[in-house]
Amino acid sequence: MHLILDKCKGEITYRLLDDIRPIKYNLQLHPDLENKTCEATASIQIEVDNETNLIVMHSLNLEIHSITILNMMARIRIRVRQWYLDHEREMLFIELDELLYRATPYTITISYSFVLDGLNGVYTSSYRDENDEER
């Protein structure tokens, strides 16, 4: 966590680093409406603009289970050295053992869960139909 905090210390900022950009998202959601929870997997294809070993993403009220980074060209995994959730900034910091390079496609896969409550993000809702039945 020391290296992550060193790179991002100073005044609190809520802006993402501009080293990488998401190109395509694939989200799989498995809600449990009875327990008001959801298991999810996000696969994000990224493009690297500046070589880096740090990925920063927005994150709020998620329980992270696993993170993998795949070099799509070489079909090899990039080892995640550590990751850290900064609840104050609502960000996820992922530090890698090696650099991500320009002109190389990568996929970040994150397995996580969250509670279905409030009106932020994914949430449950109901309505009344023409027969006044709740749906």
Residue 121 in tokens: 């993000």
Domain count, the chain: 1
Residue 111 lies in a domain: yes
pLDDT at residue 32, as a whole number: 92
pTM equals 0.82
Can you give the CATH number for the domain in which 61 is found? 2.60.40.1730
Residue 87 lies in a domain: yes
pLDDT in tens, 56-92: 999 999 999 999 999 999 999 999 999 999 988 899 9
In 16-127, at which residue ranges do the beta strands (DSSP E only) sit? Answer: 20-32, 37-48, 52-58, 63-71, 76-78, 80-86, 91-100, 106-115
Q: Which residues of the chain have pLDDT under 50?
A: 1-6
User: What is the CB neighbour count within 10 angstroms for residue 92?
Assistant: 20
Residue 26 in tokens: 């694939």
d(CA 21, CA 37): 29
Domain range holding 111? 2-115
Picking from 66, 29, 73, the residue whose alpha carbon sits closest to that of residue 47 is 73
pLDDT at residue 14, as a whole number: 65
- For 79, residues 6+ apart whose C-beta sits below 8 A from its C-beta are 96, 97, 98
pLDDT at residue 135, as a whole number: 81
pLDDT at residue 89, as a whole number: 87
Residue 11 in tokens: 């005044």
- Asked if 123 and 60 touch (Cβ cutoff 8 Å), the reply is no
Residue 94 lies in a domain: yes
Residue 30 lies in a domain: yes
pLDDT at residue 1, as a whole number: 39
Residue 129 lies in a domain: no
pLDDT at residue 3, as a whole number: 45
pLDDT at residue 2, as a whole number: 41
